Structure formats: structure tokens, C-alpha cells
Amino acid sequence: MKISVVTAVFNGGDTLPRAVGSLCSQTHNDVEHVVQDGGSTDGTLAWLRAYGHPGMTLVSAADSGIYDAINAGISRASGDVIGLLHADDYLADADVLARVAAVFADPAIDGVYGDLQYVSRDDDTRVIRHWSAGVYTPDRLRRGWMPPHPTLYLRREVFTRWGLYDTSYRIAGDYDGMLRWLTTGQVRLAYIPHVMVQMRLGGVSNRSLAQLLRKSREDYRAIRQNGVGGVGTLMAKNLTKLPQYLSRQA
């Protein structure tokens, strides 16, 4: 099974080597790394050309934002299954993609996801949040649940039938996409009870109060647009994050 891993990057030279290294170490070897660069000027392109994944395809072009770049990468991907690996993230161990491929051996499964850890940007051995996602049931969406987006892998047909990321969102396009695929698309998800991805803190959605407020507005729009609730769902979505700070499992 060919797995396409899409990375949208712009000036990610400081963290990209760890991400690519985690991909190169995977025991599942039928992997395509689709890199969509936004016109980096910090040496990212030179590093990728010298040290990138053997299955890398690289395009550098201007884009209108992260979701536009991701959509371009997905459109270029040739794998049976597609997932994302951001430049600030890395796969937690060498068997992540092997586990993904094993689950997709069941033709009834449309997507898989697992657990996620947020780590300190300055010390990636220090776990700040541990997100144990648990098994998906449709009623959990109204209670603010979603799969950890960086761990989500979907069959190509999901994007073909139910669409890519809505680029009118600037921060919450991933939440909107997942709600759309799960409600309108009724995709069938499987849960892998392992940490699949470790993610450095400091992303665009939590850099400032203004960004946090914008994310809340966009989350609410996605909730209403996909018919999974209202203000209560938004509040629950934020409150369910609190226990993640109390659990720092390895």
C-alpha cells in the first residue's frame, strides 16, 4: 500500500530535518513524500534537495495560505492513502506508517487516527499535553470531540468525493474538513491506540490572543456549517483539552 505524506512548509529549515528523519526511519517502505514549499528563503529547499526522503516530490510555489498549500500537495499525491506531516511535527516511532497500512488492509475502513503529544519547542523530550483520542462515535462530535488532525490518514477517495480543505478558513480548516468528512461523508474511522505524532508547541492558532479569538470564531462557523451543534459544542471542544495537560504518558 502506497502512503503519501504531504508536508506544506515555508522557511522550516530549523525543524524540517527532524520531521523528514522520522519519515525516513519508517519500516513501511512504500512511501511518497509530497513537499509543497511556499517559496522558502532560509535554505529549506537546498536541504531538501540534498537530504530529502528518497520518495520525495518537491514543488516550490507561492500559495494563499496553509490550506491552499496542503490542497496543492494532496492534488499531487499518488498514494492510496494520504496523511500530513507538518514541518514542526515528527512521527513518534518507526512503525507508525506500518500500523496505518495494517489498518487499511480492511477495505471497510476509510480513515485512521491515533494519539498525539504536544512537546516543548525548546525541549522535545518534555511532553506538555498528551491527547489520548479514544474511539470515534458520531455523538462525540456534538460534545466537541475530533480526531487529532496531525495523526489522521484518509483514503484518496475521501478527498475525491467529499472535498479538500476549505481555503476560506485561515486556522480551522482542518476542523471543518474533519467535520465534513465525518458528517456529510460518513467516513468510517479506526483508532490506533498509540502516540503517532509528536508536535512542537507554538503553532499559528495559539500565538496570540487575536489568533485564539479568530480560531474560536472559525471553530464556531465550522460547527454550525456542519450541523454538529452550537456554542455548547464550542465550549466543550475547549474544555476537553484540559485533561490533556494532566496526562503526560510516554
Give pLDDT tens digits for 43-69: 999 999 999 999 999 999 999 999 999
Amino acid 141: pLDDT: 97
On whether the CB atoms of residues 227 and 142 are closer than 8 A, the answer is: no
Residues 141-163 have pLDDT tens digits of 999 999 999 999 999 999 999 99
- CA 190 vs. chain centroid, Å, equals 16
Q: Which helix (H) or strand (E) element contains residue 3?
A: strand 3-9
Amino acid 5: pLDDT: 98
Q: Which helix (H) or strand (E) element contains residue 58?
A: strand 56-60
Please give the backbone phi and psi of residue 31, each rounded to the nearest 5 degrees, phi first: -130, 135
Provide the grid cell at 42: 532560509
How many C-beta neighbours within 10 Å does residue 11 have? 15
pTM above 0.85, yes or no: yes
Amino acid 246: pLDDT: 77
Provide the grid cell at 51: 537530504
Distance CA 49, CA 246 (A): 41
- pLDDT of 248 above 60: no
Q: Is residue 129 classed as helix, strand or coil in its secondary structure?
A: strand
Choose among 113, 123, 122, 120: nearest CA to 195.
113
Residues 86-97 have pLDDT tens digits of 999 999 999 999
Residue with cell 476560506: 168
What average pLDDT does the chain have?
A: 94
The DSSP result for 184-207, as a single string, is TS-PPEEEEEEEEEEEES--GGGS
Amino acid 211: pLDDT: 87
* Domains in the chain: ranges and CATH: 3-245 (3.90.550.10)
Distance CA 190, CA 109 (A): 7
Residues 95-137 have pLDDT tens digits of 999 999 999 999 999 999 999 999 998 898 999 999 999 999 9
